[in-house]
Amino acid sequence: MDKQEKIVSMFDEIAPTYDKANRVMSMGVDRSWRKKGCDKAFAFYDKSALDLIVDVACGTGDMMGYWRQRADAKSVRVDKILGVDPSEGMVGVGKEKFPDFEFAISKATELPIADAKADMLSISYGIRNVVERQAALEEFNRVLKPGGMVVILEFMKNETPSLLGKVRDAYMNKVLPKIGGFISKNKEAYEYLPNSIEGFLTVEGMKQELEAAGFEMLYTQSFSMDISTLMIARKI
């Protein structure tokens, strides 16, 4: 089993308790981060009708729900919201939560979408888990329309953490695996999270990879002691 298959298998195992663990560990603040990502993307795109929004590594569908909610709040018509994830376990939970949405089992590097069909593409706390990241970013560029938006929410590596950043790192490394492990009965999966952040990119590194894949950075903001970072880029 290769590294990508191991990650997918891990998410299959924790799928039944994933939402509960997330809410407890983030104390619900990820909701405001997700809403901000949607709202900012709609503001940059500035269109009242969209053909397709794709949420990659959609998991149990939370971000899809926020896309629908924020589109309705802003009177933006969205014809289709599609969730894509390689984990059958996660998508199974998503289909129960959101029976009206469309889902597809697929890797981030092999999206089941024709060229230049999507207006928006989001990936929330998932790009870190994509082994072939540059290939995935190029795939995002392929499926987006010219001028289309990619919205990334992620736990980014901070090479020079502030005092609050060090508090964040202590929480991520010591507290979070215990909480996630207790709820899911899979401590190993939640030990993976802080390790994957430590081995991930800084904001600047992510920006460089997006630009190499044909995107122009529009917006970056870190939230809650730099725990989470929002990045929005436009397909050139």
pLDDT tops 70 at residue 10: yes
Residue 175 gets which letter from DSSP? Answer: I
> What is the pLDDT at residue 117?
98
Q: Which of 38-42, 121-125, 186-190 has the lowest mean pLDDT?
A: 186-190
What per-residue confidence (pLDDT) applies to 202? 87
Pairing of strands 49-56, 77-85: parallel
Is residue 66 within 8 Å of 230, Cβ to Cβ?
no
For the segment 124-131, the average pLDDT, to the nearest whole number, is 91
Given pLDDT bands bounded at 50, 70 and 90, which one contains residue 172?
confident
Length of the chain: 236
Domain residue extents for the chain: 27-158+201-235
Asked if CATH classification 3.40.50.150 holds for the domain at 27-158+201-235, the reply, yes or no, is yes
pLDDT classification of 161: cutoffs 50, 70, 90: low
Task: Report, as an integer, the average pLDDT of 195-219.
Answer: 90
Q: Which of 3-7, 158-162, 215-219 has the lowest mean pLDDT?
A: 158-162
CA distance 118 to 109: 15
**Residue 236 pLDDT level (bands cut at 50, 70, 90):** very high
What percentage of the chain reaches a pLDDT higher than 70? 94
Alpha-carbon dihedral sign for residues 33, 50, 84, 203: negative
The pLDDT confidence band at residue 200, using thresholds 50, 70 and 90, is: confident
Question: Is pLDDT of 190 > 70?
Answer: yes
Average pLDDT, the chain: 89
CB 14 within 8 A of CB 183: no
Residue 101 is predicted with a pLDDT of: 95
Of the two residues 31 and 72, the one the predictor is more confident about is 72
Q: What is the pLDDT of residues 39-90, one digit of tens each?
A: 999 999 999 999 999 999 999 999 999 999 999 999 999 999 999 999 999 9
For 151-177, b/e burial (b = at least 16 CB within 10 A) is: bbbbbbbbeeeeeeeeebbeebeeebb
Band of residue 219 on the pLDDT scale cut at 50, 70, 90: very high
Q: What are phi and psi of 3, to 5 degrees?
A: -60, -45
